[in-house]
Structure formats: C-alpha cells, structure tokens
Amino acid sequence: MKFKLQIWRQKNAKAKGRFETYRVDNISPDTSFLEMLDILNDQLIREGKEPVAFDHDCREGICGMCSLYINGHAHGPDDGITTCQLHMRKFKDGDTITIEPWRSVGFPVVKDLVVNRNAFDQILQAGGFISCNGIVPDANNLPISKIDADESMDASACIGCGACVATCKNGSAMLFVAARVSALAKLPQGKVEGARRAKAMVAKMDELGFGSCTNTQACEAECPKGISIAHIARLNREFLLAKIKD
C-alpha cells in the first residue's frame, strides 16, 4: 500500500507550524500506524532530513502517549483503540492521511506532533488521590457492592490520553476529571475527601484553560476506553454537594 501524508510540522512551541507532504510506499496492511511513521522517519533520516517527532511508549494501548489526530478523529478512524492499535488496513491504498497533534490551549505543542500534557498531571495533583495516615486497612475489610465496584473500575479505565479534550469543540477536560473523581467517589476510601477533591480538580481544570462541557458526547464517542459521560453527571453532583456544604 502507498499513502500521501499531510503531517503537521512545528520546530518548537514558539515557531509557526505548517503541514508538509510526504509519501510512503510498500506499506503492509498489517503495519501499525506508528510503525508506518517509523518507516517514514527511517526514510527521512536516510535523505538527511529531520524526522517527525511523535509521542509513543508502550504501544499496547495502555499508556495513552500515542495521541494523534488523524483525518479528523482522535486516534484515527477505528473505534475503541489508541493510535498504536490502529493498522493501515483501516485505510485505502493511495489515501491521503492528515496527521495533527492534539489541539487545545491546555496541551501546547512541543514539537511537530508532540504536545505537553502536563496539565493532566496538575489536575491529578490537585485532588485525584486518597490521603492516608498510618496503616492502610486490608481492602477486604471495606465492603463495596458489586455495582459500585464495577462503576469505579470502568472509570479507572481512563488512560489520560486526552482524546476527550482534542475531540471536544470546547477543549473540555470534563470526561477526564469526571473519570478520576467518579473512580474514587464510588469507593469508601474516596468519600472522606470527596467534597474537596471535586472542587479542587474542577478549579485546576478551569485555571489551566480547558473549556466548558456542553454535553455533545463527542468525548465519549472518541474515548479509546469507552468512558461514559454518565461520570460527568456524577462529577456535577459531587461538585454541587460540595458547594452546598460550603
């Protein structure tokens, strides 16, 4: 298979970016998208040109590093996958593929397709954890219903890739924040700091420039782990209860 690639190139955070056109040939349908970019970079290096910078790590759909906006979709045209799980058989031979970095005020471009997602770390540091003094009791000593445990686990599936932000027309991080808050809100250990957590994480999200949520459900549709917007409703309840208590 052969492809025409329109790739966003940007030297650094302050430089003006632009799309550049590249061509790759003899690509196997079973090649992953990131492997295709590896092949392109090998080709560019042999030609004495600067390779395309892009993030990747586990290449197993776990870490969320491979965050690319491909043909107008976060992580590409397939459903329920990260970019590293996308294969070239999802495209037609001769296709033109447009590849961009995440577009968000909260995720400034570092270089080419690499963005700084440190904003998510800052949101987590604001309250996405459980404080504990002394010895932690055995988990089996805290009764949790199967329904609550399942909901918490579903929310915990979030890998923090940022597809929700890149897809949202407002650049909102509500699904990410909601998943983190919801995962703890359904557990006894998380209820102690529940009110402070919801307020702190939402405040940090707003401070970092993420947009507001208007419930378009685009975030849920593009989330590689299928995180439900029902968690946003729980975040709203947790936040409102915290404000009422104040």
CA distance 31 to 149: 38
Query: Cβ distance 86 to 92 under 8 Å?
Result: no
Nearest 10 degrees: Cα torsion 130, 210, 84, 232 = 60
- Is pLDDT of 66 > 80? yes
Clarify whether residues 130 and 65 are in a common domain: no
Q: What is the mean pLDDT of the chain?
A: 94
According to the model, what pLDDT value does residue 132 have? 74
Do 72 and 42 share a structural domain? Answer: yes
156 — pLDDT class (breaks 50, 70, 90): very high
Statement: residue 135 has pLDDT above 80: no
- Residue 175 confidence (pLDDT): 97
**Residue 194 — pLDDT band, cuts 50, 70, 90?**
confident
**pLDDT beyond 90 at 112:** yes
Same domain, 26 and 65: yes
Q: pLDDT-based confidence at 139, cuts 50/70/90?
A: low
Q: Would you place residue 243 in the very low, low, confident or very high pLDDT band (cuts 50, 70, 90)?
A: confident
pLDDT for the residue numbered 192: 85
107 and 130 in a single domain? The answer is no
* Boundary-marking domain end, from 111, 129, 145: 111
Where in the sequence is the domain holding 217, given as residue range(s)? 118-245
Co-location of 92 and 199 in the same domain: no
Report the pLDDT averaged over residues 129-152.
80
Cα 53 from chain centroid (whole Å): 18
> Is the pLDDT score of 137 beyond 70?
no
Do 106 and 160 share a domain, yes or no? no
| 101 and 137 together in one domain | no
Per cent of the chain over pLDDT 90 is 86
pLDDT of 141:
75
Same domain, 96 and 151: no
CATH number at residue 138: 1.10.1060.10
Distance CA 122, CA 117 (A): 9
Residue 10, pLDDT above cutoff 90: yes
Mean pLDDT of 57-64: 95
Query: Which CATH number belongs to the domain containing residue 86 in this structure?
Result: 3.10.20.30
